[in-house]
């Protein structure tokens, strides 16, 4: 019985994650010198995410962004990702979980995560939330290398929590 319950729980989590929006990039990020265009990728796993494939003379980013999905009744999971094509001094992100109230997006929780001397920072964060509300995640992703900090931002699509 425990094994069946574990399998069902995993299936629900995987299905919820696959049906959510994932890793969005912002069109507001204008690089110094664009070498290639951003592209929208659709995988066989139903993930629908933007991967920024722009390279600039001072830009280390290969992927960045956030995702949000309902992980259980009354809980959401926010995931952040910042990735570089090479190992950098510090790589990380700050996630701002926002709730839509009276026509405005209000930050209700902030999660930060960073690593040193690697090319990837990725983690999941859980949060208990009120039902019958809309939520989204805004991210500020950053890379610090040789004393220079570069930022990218993104905002997920909103989700409604029942």
Q: Structural domains in the chain?
A: 2-161 (2.60.40.10)
pLDDT given for residue 140 in this prediction: 95
pTM assigned to the model: 0.67
How far is it, in rounded angstroms, from Cα 149 to Cα 89? 10
Angstrom CA distances, 94 to 99, 103, 127, 135, 137, stand at 16, 24, 15, 16, 10
pLDDT given for residue 59 in this prediction: 78
Q: Are 107 and 71 in contact (CB under 8 A)?
A: no
pLDDT in tens, the chain (162 residues): 555 545 545 544 444 444 444 444 443 333 333 333 333 333 334 444 433 333 444 579 999 999 999 999 999 999 999 999 999 999 999 999 999 999 999 999 999 999 999 999 999 999 999 999 999 999 999 999 999 999 999 999 999 998
């Amino acid at each position: 019985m425990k094994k069946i319950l574990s399998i069902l729980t995993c299936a629900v989590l995987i299905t919820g994650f696959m049906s959510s929006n994932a890793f969005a990039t912002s069109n507001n990020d204008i690089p110094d010198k664009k070498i290639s265009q951003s592209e929208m990728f659709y995988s066989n796993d139903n993930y629908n995410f933007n991967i920024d494939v722009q390279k600039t003379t001072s830009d280390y980013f290969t992927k960045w962004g956030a995702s949000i999905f309902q992980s259980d009744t009354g809980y959401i999971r926010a995931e952040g990702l910042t990735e570089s094509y090479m190992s950098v001094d510090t790589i990380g992100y700050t996630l701002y979980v926002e709730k839509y109230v009276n026509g405005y997006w209000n930050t209700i929780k902030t999660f930060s995560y960073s690593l040193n001397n690697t090319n990837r920072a990725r983690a999941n964060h859980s949060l208990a939330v009120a039902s019958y509300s809309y939520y989204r995640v805004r991210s500020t992703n950053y890379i610090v290398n040789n004393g220079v900090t570069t930022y990218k931002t993104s905002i997920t699509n909103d989700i409604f929590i029942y």
